């Protein structure tokens, strides 16, 4: 059967015009395209070309062919000891079906694999970042992984030539610049001794190198510790504060201009809520606010910025009663921070979905599309998996 299929595909490559071949192939899933690479050299060359990879990704993104990734730290007991590991689950668009992603075996060989802090996703690529030791000093390593094509790429390390500060922390951004067709990774390193003069580096997949980004001297904004990004409208967004004010603001880094900016929040959002997190919901910048987390009165509100960049367009879209799920929920592109059990809140039916995933915390949720990115990267390595 496979031989006949391969023959028919080869015949198609000879009989159909090149443009029509591309029109057909861009609609196929990654799994099928990986098989088609074995049919002929011309197909392999086409499918692994930068132009086709970009066209294929753009097509599936424009058709909203999304799944969802939920990642976080997992507590497990082993030999009467509590241990942690990082896990990632892929859900379908209905959130009814899911499976656990198996990390490559070389990830497990990293001494600090269990210390993965978080995973950020952008157009089929997942960014992992974690600390590692080198000659007694602590550095930070970042790895890009494409589970669809089973390829990974470790960024040059140490990624900005300096140690991770003992008294400080780092913030990361990950996004795509459609103007240059390039993926970019941002790293902001804060030191408590000079908190408003962070060192900022930007990695571009197209060049394979880190560049210094200027953080203006009068830009006295601090991004919240360990806050996860919300990538929308070509920019990474985080919650932050000004050095002289307590109100929350949105700090953003635009991947095209490569500049930091600030968007204010309405007073009710900037000052009222104890716990808030920026997310992306339905393509819109959103804010999940836990207004009252006292036992017996757990609730949260979801605000949407319906007109990007317009403060007045923030709208309170949902008010959720979370008493049935321990005060925290995970839905759309919104994640809980600390939870012993993962719940989904279906906004269409107002029903809570429990998949039985327990003992996970610091969860992150991202929309996900399968792509061919990294397939043509010279320095990318094929995933290796343990065999039993």
* Residues in a beta bridge with 58: none
Question: What pLDDT digit, counting tens, does each position of 115-139 carry?
Answer: 555 678 899 999 987 765 555 555 6
- Supply φ then ψ for residue 159, to 5 degrees: -70, -20
User: CB of 256 within 8 A of CB of 248?
Assistant: no
> pLDDT tens digits for 262-308?
999 988 888 765 567 888 887 899 888 876 545 555 677 889 999 99
- pLDDT 10s digits, 166-225: 677 888 999 999 999 999 999 888 887 877 788 889 999 999 999 999 877 778 888 876
Calpha distance 384→239 (Å, rounded)? 37
Q: Which pLDDT does position 375 carry in this prediction? A: 92
Q: 273 with 290: CB under 8 angstroms? A: yes
Rounded CA gap, 275 and 290, in Å?
A: 5
Alpha carbon of residue 10 to chain centroid: 37
Reported pTM:
0.84
- What's the token pair of residue 4? 């006949």
Structure-token pair, residue 164:
């991770």
DSSP state of 331: B
**Mean pLDDT (the chain, rounded):** 78
- Other beta carbons within 10 angstroms of residue 238's beta carbon come to 23
Q: Are 43 and 14 in contact (CB under 8 A)?
A: no
For residues 157-172, give the mean pLDDT.
66
Average pLDDT over residues 31-60: 90
Residue 352, pLDDT above cutoff 50: yes
Q: How many helices (H) and strands (E) would you count in the chain? A: 7, 24
> With bands split at pLDDT 50, 70 and 90, how would you rate the model's confidence at 328?
very low
Length of the chain: 388
Concatenated DSSP letters for 289-327? EEEE-STT--EEEEEEESSTT-GGGEEEEEEEE-GGGTT
Q: Once rounded to an integer, what is the mean pLDDT over residues 339-343?
A: 63
* Distance in angstroms (rounded) separating the CA atoms of residues 149 and 372: 6
pLDDT in the model for residue 326? 46
Cβ of 35: how many Cβ atoms within 10 Å?
15
Could you tell me the pLDDT band of residue 335, with boundaries at 50, 70 and 90? very low
pLDDT score recorded for residue 87: 81
- Can you spell out the DSSP letters for 223-270? EPTTPPPEEETTEEEEEEEETT--SEEEEEEETTTTEEEEEE--HHHH
Q: How far apart are CA 3 and CA 314, in angstroms?
A: 57
């Amino acid at each position: 059967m496979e031989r006949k299929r391969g023959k028919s595909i080869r015949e198609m490559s000879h009989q159909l015009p090149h443009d029509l071949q591309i029109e057909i192939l861009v609609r196929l899933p990654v799994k099928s395209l990986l098989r088609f690479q074995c049919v002929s050299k011309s197909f392999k060359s086409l499918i692994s070309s930068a132009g086709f990879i970009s066209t294929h990704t753009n097509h599936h993104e424009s058709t909203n062919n999304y799944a969802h990734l939920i990642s976080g730290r997992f507590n497990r007991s082993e030999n009467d000891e509590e241990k942690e590991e990082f896990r990632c689950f892929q859900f379908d668009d209905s959130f009814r079906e899911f499976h656990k992603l198996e990390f490559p075996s070389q990830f497990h060989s990293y001494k600090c694999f269990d210390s993965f802090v978080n995973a950020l996703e952008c157009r089929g690529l997942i960014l992992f970042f974690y600390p590692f030791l080198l000659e007694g000093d602590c550095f930070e390593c970042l790895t890009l992984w494409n589970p669809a094509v089973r390829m990974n790429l470790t960024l040059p390390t140490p990624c900005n030539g300096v140690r991770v500060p003992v008294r400080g922390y780092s913030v990361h951004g990950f996004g795509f610049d459609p103007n240059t067709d390039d993926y970019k990774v941002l790293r902001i390193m804060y030191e408590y001794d000079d908190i408003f003069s962070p060192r900022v580096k930007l990695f571009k997949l197209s060049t394979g190198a880190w560049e210094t980004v200027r953080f203006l001297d009068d830009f006295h904004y601090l991004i919240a510790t360990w806050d996860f990004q919300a990538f929308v409208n070509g920019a990474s967004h985080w919650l932050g504060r000004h050095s002289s004010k307590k109100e929350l603001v949105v700090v953003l880094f635009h991947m095209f201009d490569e500049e930091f900016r600030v968007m204010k929040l309405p007073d009710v959002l900037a000052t009222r809520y104890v716990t808030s997190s920026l997310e992306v919901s339905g393509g819109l910048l959103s804010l999940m606010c836990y207004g009252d987390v006292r036992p017996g009165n757990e609730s949260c509100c979801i605000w949407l910025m319906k007109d990007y960049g317009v403060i007045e367009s923030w709208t309170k879209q949902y008010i959720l009663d979370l008493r049935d799920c321990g005060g925290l929920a995970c839905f759309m592109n919104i994640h809980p921070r600390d939870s012993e059990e993962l719940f989904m809140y279906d906004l269409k039916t107002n029903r809570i979905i429990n998949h039985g995933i327990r003992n996970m915390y610091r969860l992150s949720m991202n929309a996900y599309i399968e792509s061919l990115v990294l397939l043509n990267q010279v320095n990318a390595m094929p995933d290796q998996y343990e065999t039993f």
